[in-house]
Amino acid sequence: MTDLVTTTAALPLAEQWRFAETVSASSILPRAYRDDPGAVLVAVNLGAAMGLAPAESLYRIHVIEGKPSASAELIATNVRRAGHRLRVQGDDQSARAEIVRADDPDFVYTATWTIEKARAAGLSTKDVWKKYASAMLKARAITECARTACPEALYGVTYTEEEAREAAPAEPARRESAADVLAAGELVPDATEPTITPDQLRALHASFGEFGIATRDDGLAYASQVIGRMVGSTKELTKPEASAVIDNLKRDIANLPVAEAEPEADEVAP
């Protein structure tokens, strides 16, 4: 846990509130947190419990209708941090997640999501599902399995942003102008936000390679899961978003299993 996490969480409530007020005035925050210090305070402290830095919390925890949600990647991280074993496999047709609890190693919790199941739920026609079916199926399998197997490891944040939006009450239909769509900030970040730097771009692609992400689509799907919005290019990332993705990749790389060195063959005398 970083010093910033420890310091912020340990501050008296009045000082935490002043911190949240200052941060919420920033234009580079996700729109849900701007001018809402209460939401900032809750997200930062919730993230601190998960071991996240304050800035990271505001990009990996999303507030939908007043309820926190998280990326499937963050939910998977919390499952593993609690000591449980998580395995995920799949493709663009189906995905299966398995969790074995640390305190009950003889039972395997499973969840499977297929493209047929997504179609029946009305999900497969969404643009994100058309482009990233494999990533979305894996995300659904992970969160469904985690909610059943180890809800106590999720800190009450049990749904992804997409799932939370599905559960939110629908707003009355109204005509929207192009300005309305841009102002909503769902797909387009604020134009005033600093964009990814050349150094960040190089570090990002190097980390993708080190983690084993070999295709453009897989890289974009990974980044989209971390920041909570879909991106069509890594150059669309803002500077804080790029930092969040790179930091997340570093953690995932550090958690990769270390391959055991093969024993050297004994030399045979001629």
Express each pLDDT in 145-202 by its tens digit.
Answer: 999 999 999 988 888 888 887 765 544 444 444 344 333 444 445 555 788 999 999 9
pLDDT at 8 over 80: no
Task: Indicate whether 145 and 83 sit together in one domain.
Answer: yes
Assigned domain for 98 exists: yes
Assigned domain for 211 exists: yes
**Domain termination residue (choose one: 48, 64, 80):** 64
Assigned domain for 90 exists: yes
Task: Indicate whether 203 and 246 sit together in one domain.
Answer: yes
Q: Which helix (H) or strand (E) holds 111?
A: strand 104-114
pTM, to two decimals: 0.59
User: Between these two residues, 252 and 179, which has the higher pLDDT value?
Assistant: 252
Q: What's the pLDDT at 2?
A: 41
Report the candidate in 51, 162, 143 with the shortest Cα–Cα distance to residue 95.
143
> What average pLDDT does the segment 108-123 reach?
94
Task: Indicate whether 160 and 88 sit together in one domain.
Answer: yes
Residue 10 to residues 2, 5, 40, 63, 155, Cα–Cα distance (Å): 12, 8, 16, 23, 19
**How many angstroms separate the CA atoms of 157 and 141, rounded?**
16
> What average pLDDT does the segment 67-81 reach?
89
Q: What's the pLDDT at 180?
A: 42
Assigned domain for 6 exists: no
**How many angstroms separate the CA atoms of 60 and 57, rounded?**
5
Task: Indicate whether 211 and 241 sit together in one domain.
Answer: yes
Task: Indicate whether 144 and 202 sit together in one domain.
Answer: no
Task: Indicate whether 129 and 161 sit together in one domain.
Answer: yes
- Tokens linked to 28: 């580079």
Task: Indicate whether 91 and 134 sit together in one domain.
Answer: yes
**How many angstroms separate the CA atoms of 253 and 261, rounded?**
18
Assigned domain for 44 exists: yes
Distance of CA 221 to the CA centre of its chain: 10
Task: Indicate whether 159 and 85 sit together in one domain.
Answer: yes
Average pLDDT of every residue of the chain: 80
**How many angstroms separate the CA atoms of 64 and 39, rounded?**
11
* Rg of the chain over all Cα atoms, to the nearest angstrom: 20
**How many angstroms separate the CA atoms of 124 and 139, rounded?**
14
Assigned domain for 4 exists: no
Assigned domain for 3 exists: no
Contact 24, 43 (CB under 8 A): no
Task: Count up the domains in the chain and report the number.
Answer: 3
Q: What's the pLDDT at 190?
A: 52
Q: Give residue 59's domain range.
A: 12-64
Task: Indicate whether 89 and 105 sit together in one domain.
Answer: yes
Assigned domain for 7 exists: no
At how many degrees (to 10) do helices 13-24 and 37-49 cross? 110
pLDDT at 99 over 80: yes
**How many angstroms separate the CA atoms of 159 and 64, rounded?**
10
